[in-house]
Amino acid sequence: MSKFDDFFQTVLDGVKDAGGEAAKDFLKQATVDSQQFKAQAEANLQRWTTERANGEIDDDEFQSLVRGQLAEATLAALLKAGVAQQKAAELTDKVIDLAISTAFKFI
C-alpha cells in the first residue's frame, strides 16, 4: 500500500469515527427532545379539551391554543435544524483538521 493509500484510509477511518459520534449525539438529543415535547403536548391537549368540554374556553381560544402548540413544534424543529447545521459545520471542521494533521504525519 502506498503512503497516499495509508493517508486516505487513515482520514476515512477518522471521518467514520467523528461522523458516527456526531450522529449518535444528535439522535440521542433528538429522542429526548421529542419525548419531552410529546409529553407536554399531550398534557396541554388533554387540559384544553377538558376546558373546552366544560365551557371554560370557547372554540376560538381552543383553536388558538392548538395553533400555538403547533407553532411551538415548528419553532423547535427550526431550532433543531439550526443546531444540526452548526453540528455539521463543526464536523466539517473536524474532518479538515483530521486531514491536515494526518497529512503532516505522512509527510
State the cell numbers at 8. 486516505
Contact (Cβ atoms closer than 8 angstroms) between residue 57 and residue 45: no
Residue 92's pLDDT is 85
pTM exceeds 0.85, yes or no: no
Residue 1's pLDDT is 62
Flag residues of the chain having pLDDT under 50: none
pLDDT tens by residue, 79-104: 887 877 888 888 888 888 888 888 88
Ramachandran assignment for 58, one of left (phi > 0), alpha (psi -120 to 50 degrees), beta (any other): beta
Nearest residue to 37 (alpha-carbon basis) of 73, 9, 1, 84: 73
* CA distances from residue 81 to 7, 11, 64, 78, 96 in whole angstroms, order as listed: 33, 27, 25, 5, 22
User: DSSP per residue over 29-70, as a string?
Assistant: HHHHHHHHHHHHHHHHHHHHHHHHHTTSS-HHHHHHHHHHHH
Distance CA 10, CA 7 (A): 5
